[in-house]
Amino acid sequence: MKRTLVLFVLMAATTAYAGKVYQYKDANGNIIFTDQPPAANTAEHKVRTNSIETSGLSYSNKEAARKNPVVLWANACGSNCDDARNLLAKRGIPFTQRDPSSSEAEFNTFKALSGGDSVPVLQIGNSITTGFNAENWNALLNTAGYSRTADFGAPKPPPAPVAKPAASNADATKPKQ
């Protein structure tokens, strides 16, 4: 019991000690790091806290996103588009979501890219796959270098588009679900 108490006190003392770190230049131009505040006549000083940056993407996911950016072509098509978004979110994949039904120009770009008019379509770099198949999508993401699980602090995916009421003339330019 006594050993546990001593160990606890030592751990608490070291944790309390990890506080501010001061950085300043002395009279000879040397950079000094200390836990004590510099003298008042010191020209410049910075106060830093002891911390490690852990938010955001891992190095491997940043590299995968740089080399093979992910674009999800989807709209409010129902379960297939929702499942596609959920798969990317679960893995923490940074992606751009584009809605081919948002404009005629966007639809034309989508049709030229995918060769069809059905969503969802996954674009990873120059690779295109149509329709949602979790096994195929996971294999493509793995090949592109993305990690299998979400990084701690990974950005949240964009929200799903809201279904728009169908207009009779615009139906010809809307992708099939």
**What is the fold, at CATH topology level, of the domain defined by 59-173?**
Glutaredoxin (3.40.30)
**pTM (2 d.p.):** 0.60
Q: Rounded distance, CA 115 to CA 100, Å?
A: 13
User: pLDDT by residue for the chain (177 residues), tens digit each?
Assistant: 666 656 566 665 555 455 677 777 777 888 877 777 777 666 555 665 655 555 578 888 899 999 999 999 999 889 999 999 999 989 989 999 999 999 999 999 999 999 999 999 999 999 999 999 999 999 999 999 999 888 776 666 666 676 666 554 445 455 555
Burial class (CB in 10 A: 0-12, 13-18, 19+), 117: middle
Domain boundaries along the sequence of the chain:
16-51, 59-173
